[in-house]
Amino acid sequence: MQTRPLMPNFGLEVSGVDLSSPIDDDSFAEIRDLYFSHSALLFRGQDLSPASQASLAHRFGRPKIETRKQFNLKDHPEVSTIGNVKHPDGEDAAFFVRGGFGWHTDGTSACHVDAATFLYAVEVPKLGGDTLLCSTATAYENIPDALKDQLCDLEMLCSFHAHNDLLLEADPDSHIPLTEQERQALPPVWHKIVQVHPVTGRKVLYMNFHPMEFNSVSLSVGEEWLQEALAVATQEQYVYTHEWQPGDLLIWDNHAVLHSGTPTACYESDRRLMHRSFAYTQPTERTLENLDEVNEIFLKA
Ligand SMILES: O=C(O)CCC(=O)C(=O)O
Ligand SMILES: [Fe+2]
């Protein structure tokens, strides 16, 4: 296994690993350590079937089934599609991820924050469609002390339905509205903004940008503070821009990085197809206790 830093402060390319066949325990332990210590891992030149991707997600933890269930692969629902490709009848074959443009953290609508996103490139456009990442530990170190003080006791209330409803409004074609059962299975949840990462022990900024409310200040003041922190986090020198090649797998720790999708140059004509998985990694005091129930709901086609 060889490694190459993606950025001075985070991210690592790992080569010499074939993820299409089972990985022995020692190699996996090494990969898992690298994932936590570097917050994002890139594996290039992979030939990853949905079955291999699903088993990798299971190796990292407990997969959560994507809530936009029409885009989950039938035989491997731990894997869902993102992109602009269509079925022969003109129906979307992948989630058109307009909601992924703009900096965000995956999974803030659940209490369990230790979560990995797996994004594997099947088809990539000629231009654009890059994925951006930045480290929220570096962000915490770089924000002014006054902002550290403001954020230290701040909590945000995140809601899956509020998020989904916003996306639905922006992009009615590629979503299905949530049922009452789905809404109830994922009630709104409070998150501290400043958290200690359980593996690295580093302080991180756990942020998302459409919370419903803050515990101690108005929505506008809280959002202003988060935007100030985001501006520091996403300064050019701290952003890793991933230009995709087919066969790339990028795995990131949502407890330690923010990410953003970007539009492709010719979204309509230039195909992009990604296979995406999501898994809870670390055991935590705040496990999503009804994960099986949530998965059961979203497994129904
Ligand atoms: O498609 C991308 O580049 C990123 C999409 C995204 O936000 C995600 O997969 O969580
Ligand atoms: Fe995302």
Domain boundaries in the chain?
Answer: 2-290
Domain with residues 2-290, CATH architecture:
4-Layer Sandwich (3.60)
Range from 134-138, 180-184, 234-238, 274-278 carrying the lowest mean pLDDT: 180-184
Q: What confidence category does residue 291 fall into, taking pLDDT thresholds of 50, 70 and 90? A: very high
**Spacing, Cα 104 to ligand 2 middle (Å):** 6
pLDDT tens readout for residues 114-171: 999 999 999 999 888 999 999 999 999 999 999 999 999 999 999 988 777 777 777 7
CA dist., res. 194 & res. 203, Å (int)? 7
Please give the distance, rounded to the nearest whole angstrom, from the Cα atom of residue 9 to the centre of ligand 1.
21
> How confident is the model over 101-120, as a mean pLDDT?
93
Tell me which of 107-121, 160-174, 210-224 is least confident: 160-174
- Percentage of the chain surpassing pLDDT 90? 69
Average pLDDT of the residues in 44-72: 93
Q: What ligand has the least distance to the C-alpha of 208?
A: 2
Residue nearest to atom 2 of ligand 1 (CA): 261
* Nearest ligand, CA 84: 1
Residue 131 alpha carbon, nearest atom of ligand 1: 3
Q: Ligand 1: does its nearest atom lie under 6 Å from the Cβ of 251?
A: no
Cα(65) to centroid of ligand 2, in Å? Answer: 14
- For the segment 179-195, the average pLDDT, to the nearest whole number, is 91
